[in-house]
Structure 1
């Protein structure tokens, strides 16, 4: 008997019976960038009924990773566009983490397609990695 594997396939996201119906406030420790991302994505997650209290730590991590990318980009611009190799390495890891978490929560075009959500009218505004 052969085992069935789901390697490479992600399960379809569906509404959760314990889904939050109201967005909690952004955590107090968040930077301004992280708070802005929280306020941008939480209404989408609440509307899709896929986020529960148990998922909040993952959403916090996503918002923090996006915030790191944005802060490093601000620092780069303030330095006249100079790219610091160490900062770029941090940015790269934070961007990868943000992308992976965004996919988990239906914040990318592919993951939205899995839950049957229509793409937003302004896809650029919904891009979690637009820094």
Structure 2
């Protein structure tokens, strides 16, 4: 069987094709038209009311950057909320681990849990922090938040400014006409 709609790599948005140098040699005009009139409008999704304070801060930090890159739409509310809340959870657990480590004699109170029998295992706070980190990385990868996702991004060079200011340019154009 030759494959189905799930075969191969998932498609990239037009903005990523252009940022990465359009190695697939897609028609540049079609990519520009897709950016100008995307199938789903580039718009910030409404922020959910259930986000914690730290998740709200992260939402407000990343949404403008995603808007500038054209990588966000109102349909992305759930994955963005998942990322922001997972990030906030990770911060909270890291703070609790640091407090327990500072209070413990060996400095591992938040990392290692010792039972009455002497058996040791990873502390539940460390497990929760690791889970929050995995959730944040998985959701953030959807937007290119990981170093590997950004590795191939090539931003377009800034447009070159005018060689002469307006008055000098107008005077110089009179010499060549």
Flag whether TM exceeds 0.5 (same fold).
yes
Deviates more, 1:73-82 or 1:34-43: 73-82
| Larger RCO (CA within 8 A; separation ≥ 6) | 1
State the structure with more CA Rg. 2
Q: What is the CA–CA distance in structure 1 between the aligned matches of 2:2 and 2:144, rounded to whole Å?
A: 32
Instruction: Give 1:88 shift.
Output: 1.4
Structure 1: gaps of 5 or more residues: 119-131
Structure 2: gaps of 5 or more residues: 16-34, 112-122, 156-177
Say if 2:149 is the partner of 1:111.
yes
Q: What is the CA–CA distance in structure 1 between the aligned matches of 2:51 and 2:93, rounded to whole Å?
A: 16
Q: What is the CA–CA distance in structure 2 between the aligned matches of 1:53 and 1:11, rounded to whole Å?
A: 19
Aligned residues: 113
How large is the RMSD of aligned CA atoms in angstroms?
A: 2.4
Q: What is the CA–CA distance in structure 2 between the aligned matches of 1:117 and 1:13, rounded to whole Å?
A: 15
Instruction: Give 1:24 shift.
Output: 5.4
Q: Given the two structures, how large is their TM-score scaled by the length of structure 1? A: 0.71
Q: What is the CA–CA distance in structure 2 between the aligned matches of 1:117 and 1:66, rounded to whole Å?
A: 26
Instruction: Give 1:12 shift.
Output: 2.3
Q: What is the CA–CA distance in structure 1 between the aligned matches of 2:71 and 2:13, rounded to whole Å?
A: 7
Which one of the candidate residues 130, 133, 148 is aligned to 1:92? 130
Q: Given the two structures, how large is their TM-score scaled by the length of structure 2? A: 0.55
* Structure 1 runs of 4+ with >6 Å offset: none
